[in-house]
Amino acid sequence: MDRPTATAAPKRSCLQQETILLVDDEPDILQTTARFLEKRLHHVNVLTAASGPEALAVLQHHPVTLVVSDYRMPKMDGLEFLDAVHRSHAKMPCIMTTAYSDANLAIRAVNEGKVLHFFTKPFEAEELAKVVGGLLWKTVQERARDAAAQHAVGMVDAPGVV
Amino acid sequence: MQDTHLQRHTGEAEPLHVLFVDDEQDILTTCQAFFRSRNPHACIHTAASGKQALELLQTHRVDVIVSDYCMPRMNGFELMARVREMRPEVPCILMTAYTDVELAMQAVNDHEADAFLVKPVDPEQLIQAIQYAATSKGVEPVYN
């Protein structure tokens, strides 16, 4: 890995820096996609991992907002990896990419992998950036809403009162 | 936070409200029976069309929608699009007799389906999908 994985120079943005984790065993795809997303989404910091186990280790040490994982990888496939991700990060938004456009895989990805978007390779990097950007925005809004709700619960401890 | 939702939905005081939508009465009856057997306190609504489902959604509390894809007049995707406009927080599970990659990808990518079940639906999978959708989406109870 020649990319800095943990830290990146903070970029000027009104949005808080969000970190995404890209997982793919093909180094070329990994690097190209990571560079494109960082360039295209200014408030995004991209971490990369070449396998499921490596990605799980990254998740243990870094706060990650969204995961983009390939399906076909040695050691641990994308579905096994996402299952492990959701065991420790139940609400982690996940995107899956794959070169195999198979109906059963797409169905397993949504039902078992809880993926929010499914890309078949080759896909437009621009399209991935659009989906990642949209999901990040949604996640940040949900986080703010949850924080406000927590605050409200703290203020008025009466369930059901809105 | 997730735990509180879990308690909210499994506790007797807060039964889960599920809406099943299918133009085939047999499927509605079967789904209802499956779900009722595991969740005797659940509040189950059924609708025979998308239109009827939208009417129910306006007047009743609904925590999760399970809809067939292939229905006359309004298909499952059209129904989900209307649900997203009216009640974006309500998770939608799609059922279909077709295992088509385009359909599955459209369901997740364009219609934000929370699960995609292939008929004949496995009862365990149906129950799991409903419970997961209800707890993971942080469904807020709505009181009318």
pLDDT digits (tens, 9 = 90+) for B49-61: 999 999 999 999 9
Alpha helix stretches (DSSP H) within chain B: 2-10, 25-38, 50-59, 76-86, 101-109, 123-136
Q: Which residues does chain A have within 8 Å of residue B141's beta carbon, measured at their own beta carbons? A: 160
pLDDT at B23 over 90: yes
Contact B108 A114 (CB under 8 A): no
With an 8 Å Cβ cutoff, is A90 touching chain B? yes
Looking at residue B84, its amino acid is: R
A14, A82, A156, B29, B67 from A111: Cα distances, Å:
35, 11, 37, 23, 15
Q: What is the ipTM of this complex?
A: 0.74
Q: Please give the DSSP secondary-structure letter assigned to residue A121.
A: S
What are the mean pLDDT values of chain A's consecutive 10-residue runs (162 residues total)? 46 68 96 95 94 97 97 95 96 94 90 94 93 93 86 66 48
pLDDT of residue B138: 62
Reference A70, options A28, A35, A36, A103; nearest CA is A28
Residue B44 sits at the vertex; the CA angle it makes with B26 and A111, to the nearest 5 degrees, is 80
The residue-averaged pLDDT of B62-81 equals 96
pLDDT of residue B1: 39
Q: Which residues does chain B have within 8 Å of residue A106's beta carbon, measured at their own beta carbons? A: 101, 104-105, 108, 116
pLDDT of residue B15: 87
Per-residue pLDDT of A78-124, as tens digits, reads 999 999 999 999 999 999 999 988 889 999 999 999 999 999 989 99
State the pLDDT confidence band at B46, using cuts at 50, 70 and 90: very high
Cis amide prior to A122 (ω within 30 degrees): yes
Residue with tokens 């949900």: A142
With an 8 Å Cβ cutoff, is A40 touching chain B? no
* Contact yes or no for B95/B66 (Cβ under 8 A): yes
With an 8 Å Cβ cutoff, is B1 touching chain A? yes
To the nearest 10 degrees (0 to 180), the angle between helices A52-61 and A78-88 is 20
Q: Which residues does chain A have within 8 Å of residue B2's beta carbon, measured at their own beta carbons? A: 90-91
Q: CA of A142 to nearest chain B CA: how many angstroms apart? A: 10
Residue with tokens 């959708």: B133
State the pLDDT confidence band at B11, using cuts at 50, 70 and 90: very low
DSSP β-bridge partners for residue A49: A23
Cα B143 to Cα B136: distance, rounded to the nearest angstrom: 20
Say if pTM beats, i.e. exceeds, 0.95: no
Share of chain B above pLDDT 90, in %: 72
Per-residue pLDDT of B98-144, as tens digits, reads 888 899 999 999 999 999 999 999 999 999 999 888 887 665 443 33
State the pLDDT confidence band at B10, using cuts at 50, 70 and 90: very low
pLDDT of residue B78: 97
